[in-house]
Amino acid sequence: MKTGLSYLSILAFSLFLVSCGGGETAEKTDSQENTEEASADQGPSGTYILNTDQSALMWEGNMLKIGGVSLYGHNGTVKFAKGEVEMDKGNITGGALVVDMKTINPTDENYGEDNPKEDLIGHLSSDDFFAISDNPTATFNIMGGDSEVIKGSMTIRGNTNEEVIKNVSMAKEGDQIIYKGTMTIDRQKYNVAFEMPAEDKVLSDDLDFEFKVVLDKTGA
């Protein structure tokens, strides 16, 4: 009897171990399924439309810099007209950002009675700079992007060159995605230059931009 009870005890214990082992296998399978679902959704996908009210583009132009420091310059904002960005699992795959050049607005304090802000706006709008009457918009056509850079082609005054938005950061707030980044372009490549070479050489060829792009998810 003792031997029989012993065998029964061993058999029951073995069944208990098998049962526990089966439960662990099932738990691992559930965990694997959850991991697969998470990996399938690594970031936002679809078409996002630019929120022009919340987005902003800041610009800065300077005199020739000495040791990276400018003694005089101007900065301000310009509004986006429209935009669309295509995304796939958190990566930007295409789209375009269109800037309304008629909204150039200096925000620095380097003005006075002899050099009012309106004169600068008029000069920037003239053929010496952006020739806005014939070129009311500037466009950045997006080729692609990731968590560090966004590559594309910039068109200003009908001139197109490849450019890169650097120092990119991305945040998701509700249904919105917010991208921030910086870009520096060579104005000479876009024919943004004085007709008088002596005066043009006083200006830095670098134009610096800071982007804040707020995107809304479409219903599609």
Same domain, 52 and 133: yes
Looking at residue 53, its pLDDT comes to 97
Same domain, 4 and 80: no
Same domain, 164 and 101: yes
Same domain, 167 and 211: yes
Looking at residue 146, its pLDDT comes to 84
Looking at residue 72, its pLDDT comes to 83
Same domain, 8 and 82: no
Same domain, 25 and 59: no
Q: Which domain holds residue 9?
A: 1-40
Read off the amino acid at residue 132.
I
Looking at residue 113, its pLDDT comes to 87
Record the tokens describing residue 82, joined without a space. Answer: 């429209």
Same domain, 82 and 102: yes
Q: Which residues contact 59 (CB under 8 A, 6 or more apart)?
A: 75, 76, 77, 78, 104, 207, 208, 209, 210
Same domain, 22 and 107: no
CATH code for the domain in which residue 166 is found: 2.40.128.110
Same domain, 107 and 198: yes
Looking at residue 29, its pLDDT comes to 53
pTM comes to 0.78
Burial of 85 (0-12, 13-18, 19+ CB in 10 A): buried
Same domain, 51 and 11: no
Q: How many domains in the chain?
A: 2
Report d(CA 97, CA 85) in Å as an integer.
8
Question: With a cut of 50, which residues of the chain have pLDDT below it?
Answer: 1-26, 28, 31-40, 220
Looking at residue 199, its pLDDT comes to 74
Same domain, 189 and 208: yes
- DSSP labels for the chain? -HHHHHHHHHHHHHHHHHHHHHHHHHHHHHHHHHHHHHHH--S--EEEEE-TTT-EEEEEEEE--BTTB-SSEEEEEE-EEEEEEEEETTEEEEEEEEEEGGG-EE-SS---SSS-HHHHHHHHHSTTTT-TTT--EEEEEEEEE-SS-EEEEEEETTEEEEEEEEEEEEEEETTEEEEEEEEEEEGGGGT---SSHHHHTTEEEEEEEEEEEEEEE---
Looking at residue 219, its pLDDT comes to 64
Report d(CA 116, CA 96) in Å as an integer.
34
Same domain, 143 and 161: yes
